[in-house]
Structure 1
Amino acid sequence: MLKLYGSTTSPFVRRIRIWLANTQHEFVNLQIFAEQDREALIVKNPTMKIPMLEDEMDGKSQVIYDSRVIYRYLTDKFADPALSWEQENQLTLIDSANDSLVQMFILSNSDIQADEDKLFFKLQKERVNAVLVQLNEQVDSGLFSSWNYPSVCLYCLIDWIEFRKLHNMQGLTSLLEFHDENSQRIEVTATDPR
């Protein structure tokens, strides 16, 4: 039995929830900043990050950390085709923007305001801007025309940006159109953090 640990608002968790939409699994919704859930998380996952997947088979438990590794594990488990190198690069772009935005979001929730003059914030914002422009061009070129794992991850990134109001998406019309085109998929609406 597959058990996915995460929160309903995490874009990294949501991508796995969407990917598992047609696979029997249990979703354990954690409040990762609440003491009790943090204690439960650290017992199984010393990184204390979500998502985390637990696969119980034949009386043994395999715990997998990180959305990218979870996806690879599921691909292997269900004998799905591996991602191409181009798709791996797409995931690297998506993950880098997501990581930067998560870090700035956590700092903001810690009452540390983004200061344009501070190196950390300058580098994160430069990365997010460059990545979103590149992803916009890739969508415009048709590289995300199939609903595959990179597309799911891209959707989750854009939707999280819009949900949390993390970045001005003005001018990124291909990304916004991609978001609109996929917003009514059943697995998308079923995992909407709103």
Structure 2
Amino acid sequence: MYKLYGSTTSPYVRRLRIWLANTQHEFINMQIFESEDRTILITKNPALKVPALEHIEGDKSTLIYDSRVIYRYLVEQLNYASLSWEQENQLTLIDSVNDSLVQMFLLSKSDVIADTEKLFFKLQKERVNNVLAELNEHVERGKFNSWNYPAICLFSLIDWIEFRSLHNLKGLSALLDFHQENAPRIEVTATDPRM
């Protein structure tokens, strides 16, 4: 039995929920900043981050942290094909934007004003702009035409950006078209954080 711990608003959790749509698992929705769920979270992931996966087989329980590691673990458990090196690089690009935007989002929730003259903010914005432009080109070249794990991760990122109003995607028409084309998928609508 697989138990996925996370929150409905996390793009890292959502990518796994979408990918696991046809795999039996239990999703435990947590309010990770509230003390009760935080107490549970620390027992599932000492890094206090979501997602965390618990794989229960009989009396044995295995805990796996981080969406990318969870994906690799499940691929091995379910005997699926591994990602190519190109796909691994795509995930690195997607994760770099996700990580930068998560940090910026948490700072804004902590009432820290983004000062574009400060090195931290300059670096994050530069990374986000460069990588989104690169991903837009990848979509234009058909690199995300298949609905596979990297495409799911890209969709989860773009939808999270839109959901949280984190970045202006104007001019990134391939990314916006990709988002619009995949938004009606049943596993996407079933995991929509706006619900």
The aligned residue for residue 166 of structure 2 is: 166
The corresponding residue for 2:89 is: 89
Q: Which aligned pairs between 1:97-112 and structure 2 lie closer than 5 A?
A: 97-112=97-112
> Structure 2 matches for 1:1-194, cutoff 5 A?
1-194=1-194
1-structure distance, mates of 2:151, 2:123? 26
Q: CA deviation at 1:152?
A: 0.1
Distance 1:25 1:18 in 2: 12
- Please tell me the residue identity of whatever aligns with 1:117: E
Normalising by structure 2, we get a TM-score of 0.99
Deviation at 1:43, TM superposition (A): 1.6
Match of 1:144, SS? coil
CA distance in 2, matches of 1:44, 1:153: 23
Count of residues paired in the alignment: 194
Distance 2:43 2:72 in 1: 23
SS in 2 for 1:137: helix
Shift of 1:172: 0.1
**C-alpha distance in 2, partners of 1:13/1:113?**
27
**4+ runs deviating over 3 angstroms:** none
Deviation at 1:45, TM superposition (A): 1.1
Q: Which amino acid letter does the alignment assign opposite residue 82 of structure 1?
A: S
CA distance in 2, matches of 1:113, 1:65: 31
Distance 2:98 2:44 in 1: 24
CA distance in 2, matches of 1:74, 1:87: 17
How far apart are 1:178 and its partner, in Å?
0.2
SS at match of 1:24: coil
Measured in 1, the distance between the counterparts of 2:86 and 2:44 equals 33
Letter in 2 for 1:185: R
Deviation at 1:59, TM superposition (A): 1.2
Tell me the TM-score normalised to structure 1 length: 0.99
Q: Distance in 2 between matches of 1:117 and 1:8?
A: 33
The alpha-carbon deviation at position 44 of structure 1 amounts to 2.2
C-alpha distance in 2 between matches for 1:45 and 1:83: 25
SS of residue matched to 2:61: strand
**Helix, strand or coil at the partner of 2:93:** helix
CA distance in 1, matches of 2:188, 2:137: 23
Q: How far has the Cα of 1:167 moved from its partner?
A: 0.2
Structure 1: where are the runs of 5+ without partners?
none
Consecutive unaligned residues of structure 2, counting only runs of 5 or more, are none
What amino acid sits opposite 1:75 in the alignment?
V
